[in-house]
């Protein structure tokens, strides 16, 4: 059982405590030191709980296909937090499209226009989903609400630049 009375010092240095915390709430990853944001075990535990916690992973792990794939399995919106290299990798996009076709909506439009393969995936997605448009819109509305709640609860994402 997760102990909510963890001292903040423990959250920065004790991997066992950190693992317990991120398995309970993946967003806890935002509270740990950079060392643990670069630890594949800690990050994988966090993203299995909350895929969107990929946001707090190190750039190195945002560029690791296995990590991003796991995050997308949990929440396909986490694709947005993957490295640019991963988001432009046609083989990876094909692999995750098979996992969740909705991912095509988050692929850079310029990339789609440059590759016939991606245009075909987009057409395929649109034709399969034209009959289910109402369901898709309802699901997207729920996902967008979840994403907005996440963004609004994160001071890093809401600060003005």
Per-residue burial over 73-98, b = 16 or more CB atoms within 10 Å of its CB, e = otherwise = ebbbbbbebbbeebbbbeebbeebbe
More confident residue, 43 or 132: 43
pLDDT in tens, 48-67: 999 999 999 999 999 999 99
Compute CA distances 102 → 19, 77, 149, whole Å.
Answer: 30, 9, 20
Whole-number pLDDT of residue 161: 47
| Gap between the Cα atoms of 115 and 14, Å rounded | 46
pLDDT in tens, 70-127: 999 999 999 999 999 999 999 999 899 888 888 888 888 888 888 888 888 888 888 7
Q: What are phi and psi of 59, to 5 degrees?
A: -60, -35
The answer to whether 138 and 148 are in contact (CB under 8 A) is no
More confident residue, 145 or 90: 90
Compute CA distances 73 → 18, 47, 101, 103, whole Å.
Answer: 22, 9, 12, 11
Q: Confidence class of residue 141 from pLDDT cuts 50, 70 and 90?
A: low
pLDDT in tens, 14-40: 899 999 999 999 999 999 999 999 999
pTM, rounded to two decimals: 0.72
Average pLDDT, the chain: 82
């Amino acid at each position: 059982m997760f102990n909510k009375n963890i001292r903040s010092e423990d959250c920065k240095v004790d991997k066992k405590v950190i693992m317990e915390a991120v398995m309970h709430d993946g967003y806890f990853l935002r509270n740990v030191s950079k060392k643990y944001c670069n630890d594949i075990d800690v990050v994988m535990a966090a993203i299995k709980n909350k895929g969107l916690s990929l946001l707090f992973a190190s750039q190195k792990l945002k560029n690791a296909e296995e990590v991003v794939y796991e995050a997308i399995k949990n929440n396909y919106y986490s694709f947005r937090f993957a490295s640019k290299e991963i988001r432009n990798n046609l083989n990876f996009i094909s692999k995750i499209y098979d996992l969740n076709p909705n991912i095509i909506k988050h692929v850079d439009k310029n990339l789609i226009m440059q590759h016939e393969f991606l245009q075909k995936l987009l057409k395929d997605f649109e034709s399969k989903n034209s009959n289910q448009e109402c369901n898709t819109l309802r699901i997207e509305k729920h996902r967008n609400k979840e994403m907005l709640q996440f963004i609004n609860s994160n001071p890093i994402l809401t600060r003005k630049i």
